[in-house]
Amino acid sequence: MDSITKEKHIPKYINPYFGGVLLGILILFTFYITGRGLGASGAIKSAVVTTVDKVAPTHTESHTFYSKFISRDNSPMSSWLVFESIGVLLGGLLSGALFGRIKKLRVEHSPKITKKTRLIAAAIGGILFGFGSQFGRGCTSGAALSGTASSSFGGLIVMLFLFGTGYAVAYFFRKLWI
Amino acid sequence: MNKNYFILFGLLIVLSGGLLFLPEKTNYVQQSPESLMWDIVQPTRYISTDQVAKLIIEKDPLFQLVDVRPDYDFEAFSLPNSFNIPIDSILTDEANDIFNIEDVNTIFLSDDDIKADQAWVIAKRMGYKSVYVMKGGLNCWIRTIIQPQKPSESAPITEFELYNFRKGASIYFTGAELSTNSDIKQEVNITRKKKETVAEGGC
Amino acid sequence: MGPLIPLGQISSGWDFIIALIIGIAFGFILEASGFSSSRNITGVFYGYNFVVLRFFFTAVIVAMIGLEYFDYMGWIDLNMIYILPTYLSPMIVGAIIMGVGFIIGGFCPGTSYTAIAIGKLDAIVFTLGLFLGIFIFSEIFPYIEDFYYSGNMGNITISEVLGISNKLFTFIFVIIAVIAFYVTWLIEKKVRKTINPYKFE
């Protein structure tokens, strides 16, 4: 832990409470304008469906999962979440540029593990998260955040169990982070 | 600890606490004007007197009759098992209780269908969905059910069937035998009258 | 009267542009608060950085209070809002799997997008992992379809389940959140040996 305090550069972030207030107001207006909350994992699902459809159209037509999202006229990519996710990327770019955080391609990892370990962990984490997000009908942004804000019981459940499990297993993966 | 945090959290607690003390809102959910106009234009809200007679005779439990005439008219003559809610009392709580029964369709009736139509529009705006109007009102009821017109000899068989039904209904409601006119007299009447196209319940 | 697009106050042709703008705002707020760094995010699980908790809880309570007041003022019709349907068992299982993925990967989809924007390779790998995970799910879907649809409680709200009014639940939630803020502040004071917070880029 001591090596961390020796970092000479303190990153400029806005106060998390302030950020939270901003996000809360954003969620409020998202509901007000569109009647739905935010989301993120849905865009990846659209990407999966589109890709599989392009590569193997006969497979998707008969499949119970994919067939629900394929329509004759529109690509699954023309969905609200896809545009919103593109916006998230752009917004991150904007903020990163503003605060000087856009740098060359790098792997962020704890000094105690190697880059390779971190990348493998990211991949495994991604696969697990993607798989789980389908059961959970959303990720932290969609189900936990927007769901709880709109008083959905499912949203609350996902929030509690997601973070609860995080705390429960944090000890076993502590080497990755601290 | 930074005093700004106290202000922020204090504000959030006060705001959410304030929610608990807000008085109950009383805004009714209203139907939009476009959709109300559309519903007004549909003829499907009308129920013919024949259909109403059938519902009464069959003792159908899924409907109720609401007479919107003033109470003295109601005392003078009313349909069996109908409720009297004069149109100026249609927004009271008692009226609300009658309209609010689940799955039961409400049929408004008045002398003609003017007052019943008004009641229907008010009920629709209040959000009730299963409300209807008896077409022609009680005047039509008298003309079709209580004193049905015998159709001309050249009329299609359906008109005779309707007439027989109405005669039977008339007996049911008035409890008296209608005097049967001799056929000869009827014929004279018929040649002078124009043959009316009788749609079901036409008045 | 909101919600504006479902009630036709804004034509639905604007849908995607509005989505883009909202997304940009979302991404900006996320990145500016520090969520483009996986080490910042997992700090909440190890007690050295509580950004996630503060950010998340604050956002939820502000949104909840806001929605309730908007509803009271008649500015929004809460019946027309999309409420996430509750499928009890699959959601619990999904949340558990996501929790493990969260700890191992250190990202969630939204934050990974912002991290990609500033050039983090591990975020790119995470997003590819998301793709793969969802792909695997879709392929085995016919076998788990029954479980996926089990436990359907409909669009049930928290107040319906707990039997208390929405407003009361909002108030209790705010109190819990403020207590959590206070407790984490105490913890952070203990863990921090210096006044430099453990923040990463």
Which is it for strands B131-134 and C152-154: parallel, antiparallel or unpaired? Answer: unpaired
Enter the tokens of residue A64.
Answer: 């119970």
One-letter amino acid at B10 equals G
**Chain-chain contact of B22 with C167 (C-beta, under 8 angstroms):** yes
The CA distance from B28 to the nearest CA of chain C, in Å, is 11
What is the per-residue pLDDT across B126-141, written as a single tens digit (0 to 9) for each?
878 788 999 988 999 8
Residues of chain B with CATH 3.40.250.10: 33-140
Number of domains, chain A: 2
Statement to judge: residues A96 and A11 lie in one domain: yes
What percent of chain C clears pLDDT 90, i.e. is strictly above it? 49
The CA distance from A86 to the nearest CA of chain C, in Å, is 7
Statement to judge: residues A4 and A51 lie in one domain: yes
Instruction: Decide which of A58, A88, A103 is a domain's last residue.
Output: A103
Statement to judge: residues A124 and A93 lie in one domain: no
Which of A17, A21, A22, A28 is best to mutate for the B interface (most B CBs within 10 A)?
A17
Residues near A100 by beta carbon (within 8 Å), at least 6 away in sequence: A12
In terms of pTM, does the model score above 0.80?
Answer: no
**Chain-chain contact of C68 with B19 (C-beta, under 8 angstroms):** yes
One-letter amino acid at B26 equals T
Which of B1, B16, B25 is best to mutate for the C interface (most C CBs within 10 A)?
B16
State the ipTM, two decimals: 0.91
What is the per-residue pLDDT across B86-112, written as a single tens digit (0 to 9) for each?
888 888 878 888 887 877 888 998 988
Instruction: Decide which of A53, A88, A103 is a domain's last residue.
Output: A103
**Chain-chain contact of A139 with C110 (C-beta, under 8 angstroms):** yes
Give me chain B's average pLDDT, please.
79
Give B69's DSSP letter.
S
Range of the domain at A45: 1-103
Statement to judge: residues A166 and A120 lie in one domain: yes
Statement to judge: residues A117 and A142 lie in one domain: yes
Chain A residue nearest residue C136, CA to CA: A131
Statement to judge: residues A144 and A85 lie in one domain: no
The span from the CA of A143 to the CA of A157, in Å, is: 9
**Chain-chain contact of C170 with B25 (C-beta, under 8 angstroms):** no
Statement to judge: residues A2 and A60 lie in one domain: yes
CATH code for the domain defined by B33-140: 3.40.250.10
pLDDT at B77: 87
What percent of chain A clears pLDDT 90, i.e. is strictly above it? 47
Which of B147, B150, B164 lies closest to B193 in space, CA to CA?
B150
pLDDT at B27: 58
Number of alpha helices (DSSP H) and beta strands (DSSP E) in chain B:
9, 5
Which of B85, B77, B148 lies closest to B119 in space, CA to CA?
B85
Which of A34, A68, A145 is best to mutate for the C interface (most C CBs within 10 A)?
A34
Give the A:C interface size as CB pairs under 8 Å.
Answer: 541
**Chain-chain contact of B20 with C174 (C-beta, under 8 angstroms):** no
Statement to judge: residues A50 and A95 lie in one domain: yes
Give B155's DSSP letter.
S
Statement to judge: residues A32 and A81 lie in one domain: yes
Statement to judge: residues A152 and A94 lie in one domain: no
Any bridge partners for residue B64, and if so which? B106
Instruction: Decide which of A87, A103, A119 is a domain's last residue.
Output: A103
pLDDT at C134: 93
Where are any strands of DSSP class E within C86-176?
86-87, 152-154
